[in-house]
Structure 1
Amino acid sequence: MTDLNIQNTEENIDKEGISWVDREFSRPDATIRLATSFSGIGAIEYALKRLGINTKIVFAGDIDANCKKSYFANYTIRENQWHTDIHELDATQYKGKVDLFVGGAPCQAFSIVGEQRGFEDTRGTLFREFARIVKECQPKVFIFENVQGLFKHDQGRTWEVVYNTFKDYCGYDVHFQLLNARDYGIPQTRERLYCMGFREETEFKYPAPIPLKYKMYDFLEDYTDSDYYDSDKNAKYLSGDKKHLKELRIHPEKERFNDFVFPVREVEDKYYLSEKVAKYVLCPGTKTFKTPIKTDLEIARPLLHSMHKMHRAGVDNYVTYNKAKGIDGLRKLTPRECFRLMGFKDDFKQVVSNTAAYMEAGNSIVVDVLIALLKQMDVTKYGI
């Protein structure tokens, strides 16, 4: 496993080249033929949208009906391009028609059988279906995202199976790295494994981290004590470039891919915890949650897909800010705030219940990390 661990080191990060933020696309008018499985709410689709890249969806799919509802509300796709059960998708019909294939298959812990440690050892797992799709449609590039635990599971043996499957069975040049959202512009501690496969051998290094300029508070709907708040317009204008920030406040239509413009509004009372629940959240000293229990973090804890059920500050993100209403109670994040902290701007349409929206946000890939990858690799090179 030593050779595999080498890839997931600082040496695999591009610290000498041009920052991904400042990189220009070589073919800005190119169209990316995009395919996704386990598509969720379309993080890669939204990343390409924020970058202003022409995109043609070849196919997408997810087993969750609410994800489908959100996906169809936000992207251009026909019914015959959608698959609900990946096992039933025959991707051979798309061979030569996909530039970029992206997905984050739920990876059940599977046991290693025999010495092969390859494709056959992934029987019964959804990862096996992801790899099959890669083999069948042969995209120019694929991105496989998953929890960091996949890399560490079973002392690295599980990841060795995944890696060898992509390399030997699929025949791709495979790169991988653990990346954290807080290193790419979003104030959330969310480390994930990003595996990239290139059909041709490619010299690729992962994008270098950038300084985090925002706090979790900046993404809250009702928080005004922010450097980015404009009281005259009752809105927040988040831009890492101070010179551009001034221009953005005058001309919000000049919003760039890494800018956020948020209206400030009151948060409904239903998001505030009752006094009894608030005391429970803040109570010190259990075996699971140690003191001090903190709320109002500058960098959010990882968003969970089950936030509507959680009521412990050691698990969830709780805030006390609602200056507009003068309330100093404890509240949970709203679905809109969760979408923002995953890199989805307010033009993303929420068409499902709050419970489903929390799940969708918590299961998504952070858009800004994908943006960094797309810029670093110059995704337009692979378009048509």
Structure 2
Amino acid sequence: METLRVLELYSGIGGMHYALKQTGISADVVAAIDINTTANQIYKHNFPDTPLWNRTIEGIPLDELNGLCFDVILMSPPCQPFTRLGLQRDITDPRTKSFLYILDLLPRLSQLPRFILLENVKGFESSSARQCLVETLTKCGYTYQEVMVSPTSVGIPNSRLRYFLMAKLSTLAHSKKSFQPSEEPPSRLSPVDSLTEENPSPGFLYKLETTTEVLRKVNQNMDLSVRQIQDFLEPEENVDIEQYLVPHKTLLRYALILDIVTPVCRRSVCFTKGYGRYVEGTGSVLQSCMETEMESVFKHVDQCSKDDDKLQQLLKLKLRYFTPREVANLMGFPKSFSFPAQIPIKQRYKVLGNSLNVVVVASLLQELISS
């Protein structure tokens, strides 16, 4: 196949670009576009030779896009209008303006791209934005496939369920596997976080977890198709443990809702842009001291009446945050990926939380372009 010309919209820190490289497909990113200053610094640091446009998408005229002559569009539009924790304002949210602009321009391009891959959060599949997207694609002559995929499907111990749409021009329908339009909500590529009654007893039920939640975690940790957390950790000598330990105040206030994993676990929860600043639902924390049993600690915490005594028990676990490098590892970024030295840790967590899983996208791109 000839070298594909790729337009990377909402390029962020380059997750799509890394996925493209991972496929081994001959491709050239002719332009990457994003307005996030920090993300652009990181992108430029890792891809210094790629043209990077720090511009609003809706400010780019049709003629300028036509001049790029691209074969592929990769994009991950803003997810805030669709996330379950947001206001879910959908196409009335100003942050969808650029995406709607893309849909308006697509039929008017002098040459339609042969392939399109879009990523977004769970919730997009039932949005009006998604409806506008599939109507535009159908009108332009694309066939498409929609899936919901989590990194656990490719053996990575991290839950990050995301919506993906892969589209190709119907003139390419002679390929081995053509995509068919679907009026039904997309389904997962493979089962994720399934529960069965055949799981062994979860043992001591501590913290605020329900029996169902504990069973789910036990089930995940028994899935041998998923690698262990320890495969994604930095060498201990490279990590300043003190810098990443969960603060005392956080331990006392939120210990009962922390999602705690160990190096031998085969699961972790989705890392978000609030990791390290907020607690609930922002990502897992790692138990560093394996000589102490977590169940024993929480049993004793339950019996302590004084905060000082509770804290002493909790400190035995040496709970710490994953480092930004470790989060990047769990999100499939290669060893060659790095942050410019001037980017603060909080900003590193934030841009990673806004990014995507490279291995998942690479698998889907391989299916889209090479099938």
Q: TM-score, normalised by structure 1?
A: 0.66
Separation in structure 1 between the aligned mates of residue 354 and residue 33 of structure 2, nearest angstrom: 15
Q: Is 1:217 the equivalent of 2:187?
A: no
- Counterpart residue number, 2:29: 57
Question: CA shift at 1:336, angstroms?
Answer: 0.3
- Counterpart residue number, 2:13: 41
Secondary structure, counterpart of 2:238 in structure 1: coil
Letter in 2 for 1:106: P
Letter in 2 for 1:198: K
Q: Is 1:150 the equivalent of 2:150?
A: no
Separation in structure 1 between the aligned mates of residue 348 and residue 324 of structure 2, nearest angstrom: 6
- Match among 132, 136, 140 for residue 114 of structure 2: 140
- Counterpart residue number, 2:266: 298
Separation in structure 1 between the aligned mates of residue 50 and residue 131 of structure 2, nearest angstrom: 37
Unaligned runs of 5+ residues in structure 2 are 82-87, 181-186, 192-223, 291-315
Separation in structure 1 between the aligned mates of residue 97 and residue 335 of structure 2, nearest angstrom: 35
- Match among 135, 150, 157 for residue 164 of structure 1: 135
Question: CA shift at 1:361, angstroms?
Answer: 1.0
Would you say the 8 A contact 1:207–1:376 is kept in 2?
no
Q: Is 1:317 the equivalent of 2:284?
A: yes
Cα 1:99–1:126 change in 2 (3 A) is same
Secondary structure, counterpart of 1:270 in structure 2: helix
Q: Is 1:335 the equivalent of 2:335?
A: no
Give deviations 1:140-187, integer Å, cap 9, x for gaps.
Answer: 10111111111134xxx553233213322x442222111112102321
Separation in structure 2 between the aligned mates of residue 198 and residue 47 of structure 1, nearest angstrom: 18
Q: Is 1:376 the equivalent of 2:367?
A: yes
Cα 1:277–1:377 change in 2 (3 A) is same
Tell me the matched-pair count: 291
Would you say the 8 A contact 2:56–2:98 is kept in 1?
no
Q: Is 1:176 the equivalent of 2:146?
A: yes
Separation in structure 2 between the aligned mates of residue 303 and residue 147 of structure 1, nearest angstrom: 13
Percent identity of equivalent pairs: 24
Would you say the 8 A contact 1:150–1:158 is kept in 2?
yes
- Counterpart residue number, 2:252: 279
Question: CA shift at 1:76, angstroms?
Answer: 4.0
Letter in 2 for 1:60: A
Q: Is 1:90 the equivalent of 2:61?
A: yes
Separation in structure 1 between the aligned mates of residue 17 and residue 34 of structure 2, nearest angstrom: 14
Separation in structure 2 between the aligned mates of residue 199 and residue 91 of structure 1, nearest angstrom: 20
Separation in structure 1 between the aligned mates of residue 245 and residue 65 of structure 2, nearest angstrom: 48
Cα 1:78–1:337 change in 2 (3 A) is closer
Cα 1:208–1:90 change in 2 (3 A) is same
Question: CA shift at 1:188, angstroms?
Answer: 1.0
- Counterpart residue number, 1:72: 44
- Counterpart residue number, 2:179: 204
Cα 1:360–1:192 change in 2 (3 A) is same
Separation in structure 1 between the aligned mates of residue 22 and residue 6 of structure 2, nearest angstrom: 15
Question: CA shift at 1:360, angstroms?
Answer: 1.4
Cα 1:294–1:270 change in 2 (3 A) is closer
Would you say the 8 A contact 1:222–1:321 is kept in 2?
no
Letter in 1 for 2:165: C
Letter in 2 for 1:189: S
Separation in structure 2 between the aligned mates of residue 158 and residue 39 of structure 1, nearest angstrom: 20
- Counterpart residue number, 2:208: none
Question: CA shift at 1:36, angstroms?
Answer: 0.9
Question: CA shift at 1:363, angstroms?
Answer: 1.0
Higher relative contact order at CA 8 Å, sep ≥6: structure 1 or structure 2?
1
Q: Is 1:185 the equivalent of 2:176?
A: no
Question: CA shift at 1:328, angstroms?
Answer: 4.1
Cα 1:270–1:58 change in 2 (3 A) is same
Would you say the 8 A contact 1:304–1:359 is kept in 2?
yes
Give deviations 1:290-323, integer Å, cap 9, x for gaps.
Answer: xx964445311011012131134x5421011268
Separation in structure 2 between the aligned mates of residue 331 and residue 275 of structure 1, nearest angstrom: 11
Question: CA shift at 1:275, angstroms?
Answer: 2.8
| Range with greater deviation from structure 2 (91-100 or 64-73) | 91-100
- Counterpart residue number, 2:77: 105
Unaligned runs of 5+ residues in structure 1 are 1-26, 114-120, 224-263, 284-288
- Counterpart residue number, 1:344: 333
- Match among 234, 242, 245 for residue 269 of structure 1: 242
Letter in 1 for 2:148: L
Cα 1:76–1:131 change in 2 (3 A) is farther
Cα 1:101–1:358 change in 2 (3 A) is same
